[in-house]
Amino acid sequence: MAIEKVGFVGLGIMGAPMAANLLKAGFEVTVWNRTAARADPLIALGARVAGSPAEVSAASEVTVSCVSDSPDVDLVALGPGGIIEGAAAGSAYIDCSTISPAVARKVAAALGAKGVEMLDAPVSGGDVGAKAGTLAIMVGGDADVFERCLPVLQAMGKTFVFCGPSGSGQVVKLCNQVAGALNLLAMAEAITLCRRAGVDPAKMLEVVGAGAASSWMIQNLGPRAVRGDFAPGFMVELMQKDLRLVQETSAETATPLPGAALVQQILRTLEARGRGKDGTQAIVDAVASLAGD
């Protein structure tokens, strides 16, 4: 039977456009956000608003969440008025947040005891991908549940990879953040060197972005950084949260990750200056400051 009713919890920079794309795909969407006013644009598109995550899940065959951190997922899924209180046996929960793999497995086990299947399905692509519906989605859980929920994922993204059992999606997302963090640093160092050598960094990005050294960061965040546009597609403080999860998993698995640790420390200089809510492209200012600029 085709899925018709989808719930969405968490309407931030990523969640709001993801929920909008579900509406555009024809799903009946019920939403909840801690700050209720964030739902207004979605109401205009036809969404229904619920009073709690439990009300969202009670009205939905599949409930999706996209919130900030592991404790937030724990709260909206298992806390008072949480998804677990409203979700019916046989329904599914897809969490698109980036959280600890261990917490993903904990939440999946608690919901599973009630007959509710969970997919951990963190996303990559930033606000650009969320708006365009082109996110890459890495999924952990049960393969049959993944296949059943694929129409929901297809409304929000373009690439979907089933990675393995519960928690696997989160592990892959942390690997994504390691690669993304190091690409951020490469972008910032290239821009800083180019400027200090007296060459227009916009020209450098144009040609590097067309060659073997290109990356999503070079093509999308590099031009913003050069223009001094630090509006967040993804905040410094959220990247720092992800890198904390990376370091926790690094410690659990005895895996040395010196590059990721370096980026975390460089971004910490931005947090120390009160710039935690800037976009991650602000790393270019942190690297420039090391050169005395």
- The residues assigned a catalytic role are 173
For residue 20, give the nearest of 52, 53, 37, 43 by alpha carbon: 43
Q: 187 phi and psi, to 5 degrees?
A: -60, -50
Q: Measured over all CA atoms, what is the biggest interatomic distance in the chain, rounded to whole angstroms?
A: 63
CA 268 to CA 262: how far, in whole Å?
A: 10
CA 225 to CA 190: how far, in whole Å?
A: 12
Helix (H, G, I), strand (E, B) or coil at 138: strand
Strands 28-32 and 48-49: parallel
For residue 226, give the nearest of 207, 205, 198, 209 by alpha carbon: 205
CA 15 to CA 68: how far, in whole Å?
A: 10
Q: Scanning the structure block, which residue is given the tokens 């999924």?
A: 139
- For residue 198, count other CB atoms closer than 10 A to its CB: 6
CA 253 to CA 261: how far, in whole Å?
A: 15
CB 286 within 8 A of CB 293: no
CB 8 within 8 A of CB 155: no
Environment class of residue 158 by beta-carbon count within 10 Å: exposed (0-12), middle (13-18) or buried (19+)? middle
Dihedral (C-alpha) 173, 177, 180, 184: value to the nearest 10 degrees? 160
